[in-house]
Amino acid sequence: MAQTILHKGDTRGHANHGWLNSYHSFSFGSYYNPDRMSFGALRVLNDDTVDAGMGFGKHPHDNMEIISIPLEGDLEHKDSMNNTAVIKNGDIQAMSAGTGIYHSEYNQDKDKRVKFLQIWLYPNKRNVEPRYDQITLNLADRENKLQQVLSPNANDAGVWIHQDAWFNLGKFDKGVSTEYTIHKAGNGVYAFVLSGQIEINGQQLNNRDALGIWDTDKFTITATADAEFLLMDVPMSI
């Protein structure tokens, strides 16, 4: 029988640094909750808003798969691999930190804030050569269907990472329903609502609510209002 865990949006950790307003689905920074350390390989899901002209200065990472999904505005990225890029709504960025990287992220716009999801996954290979990947997605490909945006395979749809994980984005009209089949035995799915309302296996989820589901092969998602959501299919053991 499927196992589930419900994380309501208002139970997340919260840190307001003035220039950065961040909600943490899992323990991060000054927010520590021993019951919210990770969902399998999914270690960090931060829901960040960065003020105009502000950002994260140069800082290090290693042995982590880092995914950024912009929701609003533009975020400039620079790193120690000599990449300079701007990511915006409709893009997805992935970095394999591996043996170690430095990077910075800035909102260069002087009058608009940036909203983005910052996601960290534990890798299935340590000390790999650092790498950077960024693509622009076709937003029409998630209208009333699931759009794969990340996988373990370099020649598959979306970006790829060093982990047996698959991400899908959906933008469903009210009443649209689909069945999702988990990609790999031992994986579970962390479903995160970006807007609207969905129902999974009878559980109603509203804006910024999340449901983890595992010990099942498949489940049904129904939009009970117009909705956007992210599905993160990840190994439950690391």
Identify the CA nearest to 66 among candidates 168, 134, 14, 148: 134
What are the residues facing 146 on neighbouring strands? 170
Q: Tally the C-alpha atoms within 13 A of residue 153's C-alpha that lie toward its C-beta.
A: 6
At residue 103's C-alpha, the angle toward residues 93 and 119, to 5°, is: 40
Q: How far apart are CA 185 and CA 183, in angstroms?
A: 7
69 CB contacts (<8 Å, ≥6 apart)? 91, 92, 93, 116, 117, 119, 149, 230
Q: Give backbone dihedrals phi and psi of 116, rounded to 5 degrees, phi first.
A: -155, 155
Residue 77: pLDDT band with limits 50, 70, 90: confident
Give the domains, in start order, of the chain with CATH numbers. Answer: 12-136 (2.60.120.10), 139-235 (2.60.120.10)
3-state secondary structure of 9: helix
pLDDT of res. 76 = 87
pLDDT, tens digit, 9 for 90 and up, residues 30-51: 999 999 999 999 999 999 999 9
Percentages helix, strand, coil for the chain, rounded to the nearest 5?
5, 55, 40
pLDDT, tens digit, 9 for 90 and up, residues 96-112: 999 999 888 878 888 88
Identify the CA nearest to 157 among candidates 183, 125, 123, 178: 183
* Torsion angle defined by CA atoms of residues 159, 160, 165 and 170, in that order, rounded to the nearest 10 degrees: 10
Q: Cβ atoms within 10 A of the Cβ of 148, count?
A: 18
pLDDT of res. 135 = 95
pTM over cut 0.95: yes
